[in-house]
Structure 1
Amino acid sequence: MPAVLALALSALSPAAAAAAAPGDTALTTVAERSGFVRTGRYDEVIALCEAFAVRYPDAVRCQSFGTSPEGRPMKLLVVSQSGAFTPEQARAQGLPVTLIQGGIHSGEIDGKDAGFLALREMLDGEIASDVLREQVLLFVPVFNVDGHERFKAWNRPNQRGPEEMGWRTTAQNYNLNRDYAKADTPEMRAMLALYGKWDPLAYIDLHVTDGAQFEHDISIMVEPVHAGDEPLREVGLAFRDGVIARLAEQGSLPLPFYPSFVEYDNPASGFADGVAPPRFSHGYTLLRNRLGMLVETHSWRTYPERVRATHDTIIASLQLLAAHG
């Protein structure tokens, strides 16, 4: 083992050191090792964040961008193969910044496991090996970190896997995806400070549906599309439709809207679609003149199916942003 890597590993927690060590042990998640039956606790996120930075020292930085009310670090992976790891470096190189976020509703945890998988594959050159040279990726595996640790089975009874998962709201019982305009929570204030510092071109927010059973496995919603400046609507539409086309090629059945009913409990009333208000992530980014994508996999699909669709969405989005960002 090279001396520099050995020294770096010695500074890590035992879990992180084991994950980062070369050899047979890969940077895999509990989800992968269990066949996507289980998902890991938040200590896995902390360990993997550190381990990715050690395994890929030229491409990954592990940072904390805030502290939750219960004292947990809010972890961020800054990822680029361009040498840009600060907002100033990204701007100097003219690189777009993409922020991908999992676990704002931490029972809907597909994004955490899909994101770590996609990130490892890209950094190992197995898939989309060039996209991280053309942008800076900010990956927040879990936004609602305290809710993530309110961990048990049946937190989401209509959702097929994992066996146990986190809770929808924070330790203070706030729904973070209703807090973008208000910024009542310390978590949201930390996120908006990160957003303001980096000014990402695209903010991708990864969720799982609530409610009705339907055939489609994933919804991709982007703003500006329904509102905003006309030139930026064209960009948003191209981004949304480009991701949808790539997902369809890979076997998904994607929708460009969330299938919520006009009348909440009446499927015959038809589907409602419109401009998201700024309490939601993609409504907030609309008002910042940036791209916001809300991703909703279908809760009645199995966890392996949902993670695959989320993984494919991450890859497709990064490819399009690298090409056109």
Structure 2
Amino acid sequence: MRSFLLAIVFFFACISAKAQLTPFELSKDKNYTATYAEVISYYQKVNKLYPQQMKMINYGTTDVGKPLTLIVLSKNGVFDPGLIKKQDKRVLLINNGIHPGEPEGIDASMMLVRDLLKKNQLPKDVVICLIALYNIDGNLNRGQSRVSQNGPAAYGFRGNYRNLDLNRDFIKADSRNALAFTQILTTWKPEVFLDNHTSDGADYQYVMTLIETQKDKQNSILADYTSKTLTPYLYSHMKKSGYEMIPYGAGEEGLPDSGIVSFLETPRFATGFTAQHNIISYITETHMLKPFDKRVYATYDFMQHLIDINQRDAKLIGDLKKKADAAVISQKTFPLKWEVDMKAVDTITFKGYEAGYKTSDVSGLKRLYYDRSKPYTKVIKFYNTYKTTVTADKPLAYVIPQAWGKVIDLFKLNGVKMQQLAHDTTLNLQMYYFGDIKTPTRPFEGHYLHSSVQLNPVDMAMKFYVGDYVVYTNQAINRYIVETLEPQGVDSFFAWNFFDSMLGEKEYFSDYVFEDKAADLLKKDAALKQKLDDAKAKDPQLGNSAQAQLFFVYKNSPYFEKTYMRYPVGRILNDTKLDLK
């Protein structure tokens, strides 16, 4: 009888153990990634087993109509973000499936959550937040669109329901996915962030490469810690796990032998966006040609090591975040654009495969291939230094007209402190007028991105109205404020076309009516006549066009609209007493 009871216990234990396996683990050859329905169902089952230390929280609504699900793991069962901060615990945020064809993080996180709970190995000083599946839209569009990738058998599509690449959407926030993400970010206020991906590019021996917030773009206080302590820890421990890493970028600009250029993640990317919030940020990039199971397990190990060092350095990371926030509050000059310094060259040991060329069976011409029977180890160049090319000095405050609702909404969502004018007010401040701007002829992610923006700052009196917003630049979120509102910024709101209506004229003139008025203006204003004569001397086409000359006079007359090409956001440079709500 006793042996029969033991057999029953063993039978149900086996069923229970199998029930906790992920779809990836249950699949043949471990070449399967979970669907959205399977992901949510799995976490719901695990949550029932461990309700005291795990919580599932839905945020917002994605573009496909489903909420963004956050998995929160807390050893002491505290799930109040405010209380967690009061208890001086760190928050680690992990994002999965932003590109659903790069799904390793989805499956690795499911296993990791189960194991941390099952083995009672949750860190005591770190609360772990995982976005189960960010691009739900793309995950539902399941197929084999990444033709060059080695598994899994089927997976989601890169674009979301609006065909947006969500890892180019964070600063502009066109998708509802991005709005939900920002809500998570500002609610939980993580100190460290990880985004899991898969790379393409050249073939080499590594299963995983790594992107970290570029040291010259990162807050210097955080960069000192990440470059000297955190990043070396991750590299050394991944090597011990059997998944030696190198920085991402080998072969992105040609063959790997030509060197690696460190990736610059501007605020359109997840980690560039989180860096504006002074968050330490990483991107894993497993290699598309390695077997899917190895890519999943490498991602699993990386997350475990990241959790471990977050626990080990919990107090230090918290202190550094506070120092970084304080430094940004008092920071005066902000970089807006960067470029790699090709004169600053480091070296790195690289393990690759010999590249060669052979005749293509498709074209009959030469084609590139990598010979895995000929591995090599060599020292290559590593370009890991960026220099600032454009900067801006922050004003005392920005004034944003309430008409620009999306800007206001995003500032509120990102936790920017704002106040509103209590009365209609004329302010003496600095306004920008646009000069030359470069704009492409084809859209990128639904926008015609402006670049090479030339500005003419003008000190002037401007009327603003009750309810317009004043944003003082004495905030820890200053990087976000300045990088979005200064038009020259690579991912500024102006660059993303938020203010394009200011680039169009609204009034004009009737030629035959304005002829007499223009002649009268030239008679009365010698300086204007001289300006026209000088312009005609420099430009023969102007001298041969009556219409162009009329427009020249109109543009330089009191009748020309003063709002044309004027950036609507004002810059208060001097201490000004304001009546605020």
TM range (shorter): 0.7 to 0.9
Shift of 1:133: 2.0
Q: Is the 8 A contact 1:131 1:319 kept in 2?
A: no
Moved more, 275-284 or 139-148: 275-284
Shift of 1:131: 4.1
Quote the residue 1:315 is aligned against. 304
Shift of 1:23: 2.9
Which of the residues 232, 244, 269 maps onto 2:235? 244
Moved more, 129-138 or 313-322: 129-138
3-state SS of 1:255 partner:
strand
Moved more, 116-125 or 24-33: 24-33
Quote the residue 2:287 is aligned against. 298
- Tell me the amino acid that sits aligned with residue 148 of structure 2: N
Q: Is the 8 A contact 2:62 2:175 kept in 1?
A: no
Q: Is the 8 A contact 1:41 1:148 kept in 2?
A: yes
Q: Deviations over 1:167-195 (max 9, x none)?
A: 01101000011111111111001101110
Shift of 1:224: 5.6
Which of the residues 27, 31, 46 maps onto 1:37? 31
Shift of 1:103: 0.3
Q: Deviations over 1:44-101 (max 9, x none)?
A: 1111222222110111001111222222232111111122212112112111001111
Shift of 1:267: 4.9
Q: Is the 8 A contact 2:54 2:77 kept in 1?
A: no
Quote the residue 2:183 is aligned against. 193
Specify whether residues 210 and 261 from structure 1 end up closer, same or farther in structure 2 by C-alpha distance, changes over 3 A only: closer
Q: Is the 8 A contact 1:240 1:256 kept in 2?
A: no
Q: Deviations over 1:281-322 (max 9, x none)?
A: 221222211111111000000001100100000100000111
Gaps of 5+ in 1: 1-20
Quote the residue 2:71 is aligned against. 77
* Mapped pair 1:162 → 2:156: no
**Cα distance in 2 for residues equivalent to 1:307 and 1:226:** 31
**Cα distance in 1 for residues equivalent to 2:64 and 2:264:** 34
Q: Deviations over 1:257-291 (max 9, x none)?
A: 332533xx555543222432111122122221111
Higher relative contact order (CA 8 A, sep 6+): 1
Q: How does 1:1-325 map to 2 (within 5 A)?
A: 23-34=16-27, 35-125=29-119, 129-152=120-143, 154-223=144-213, 225-237=215-227, 238-262=229-253, 265=254, 267=256, 269-325=258-314
Q: Is the 8 A contact 1:29 1:113 kept in 2?
A: yes
3-state SS of 2:303 partner:
helix
3-state SS of 1:90 partner:
helix
- Tell me the amino acid that sits aligned with residue 247 of structure 1: M
**Cα distance in 1 for residues equivalent to 2:47 and 2:265:** 36
**RMSD over aligned Cα atoms:** 1.8
3-state SS of 2:201 partner:
coil
Larger fraction in strand: 2
**Cα distance in 1 for residues equivalent to 2:155 and 2:84:** 35
**Cα distance in 2 for residues equivalent to 1:220 and 1:269:** 18
- Tell me the amino acid that sits aligned with residue 71 of structure 2: L
Q: Is the 8 A contact 1:282 1:292 kept in 2?
A: yes
Could you tell me the TM-score, scaled by structure 2's length?
A: 0.50
Q: Deviations over 1:219-269 (max 9, x none)?
A: 12222623233221122222222111110001112013332533xx55554
Q: Is the 8 A contact 2:34 2:106 kept in 1?
A: no
Gaps of 5+ in 2: 1-13, 315-581
Specify whether residues 260 and 200 from structure 1 end up closer, same or farther in structure 2 by C-alpha distance, changes over 3 A only: farther
Name segments (4+ residues, structure 1) moved above 6 Å.
none
Could you tell me the TM-score, scaled by structure 1's length?
A: 0.87
Which structure has the larger Rg?
Answer: 2
Specify whether residues 274 and 77 from structure 1 end up closer, same or farther in structure 2 by C-alpha distance, changes over 3 A only: closer
**Cα distance in 2 for residues equivalent to 1:261 and 1:146:** 28
Shift of 1:25: 3.7
Specify whether residues 22 and 234 from structure 1 end up closer, same or farther in structure 2 by C-alpha distance, changes over 3 A only: farther
**Cα distance in 1 for residues equivalent to 2:276 and 2:65:** 31
3-state SS of 2:57 partner:
strand
Q: Is the 8 A contact 2:247 2:262 kept in 1?
A: no
Q: Is the 8 A contact 2:201 2:250 kept in 1?
A: no
Specify whether residues 77 and 274 from structure 1 end up closer, same or farther in structure 2 by C-alpha distance, changes over 3 A only: closer
> How many positions carry a matched residue from both structures?
299
Quote the residue 1:13 is aligned against. none
Quote the residue 2:557 is aligned against. none
3-state SS of 1:88 partner:
helix
Q: Is the 8 A contact 1:244 1:256 kept in 2?
A: no
